[in-house]
Amino acid sequence: MIFLDYQDRRPIYEQVAEKFKTLIITGALPVGTKMPSVRQLAVDLSINPNTIQRAYMELEQQGLIYPVKGRGNFVADTDKVLQVGRQEYLKEFKGVVRKGKTLKVDKELLISEIQDCYREEKHD
């Protein structure tokens, strides 16, 4: 489910949190799904349980998971997940638009491409 990149300069807990965030936002981990236990995931990934706990705290602070005392952590409500997903999307989109501006991509061409994407969606 999760693979770590030991060449990545980010701390392990950030990598773990990011991987779960992606799984939650894409729906691979649906709302209400029980997260792996801290101990079991630490054993599976061969890392310290405190690292997993810190990753789970990050996800909880972002509103993506919630703890249930004595039962574990669960994927949170869809509205919060969608909100976080949209924020991530808009951040990426702005980066792409800035790159397009640097490459002198015309604004009207960009708008036209966006409209084409939405038209294609209606035909699917």
Query: Residue 103 and residue 89: Cα distance in Å, rounded?
Result: 21
The arithmetic mean of pLDDT across residues 96-121, rounded, is 90
Res 85: pLDDT:
79
Q: What is the mean pLDDT of the chain?
A: 90
* pLDDT at site 4: 87
Read off the pLDDT of each residue in 72-93 and give the average, rounded to a whole number: 85
Contacts of 11 (CB under 8 A, 6+ apart): none
Q: In Å, how far from its chain's centre is CA 60?
A: 13
Which range among 25-29, 49-53, 70-74, 76-80 shows the weakest confidence by mean pLDDT? Answer: 76-80
What was the pLDDT predicted at 123? 57
Q: Do residues 49 and 42 touch, judged by C-beta distance below 8 A? A: yes
Question: 70: alpha, beta or left, given left = phi > 0 and alpha = psi -120 to 50?
Answer: left
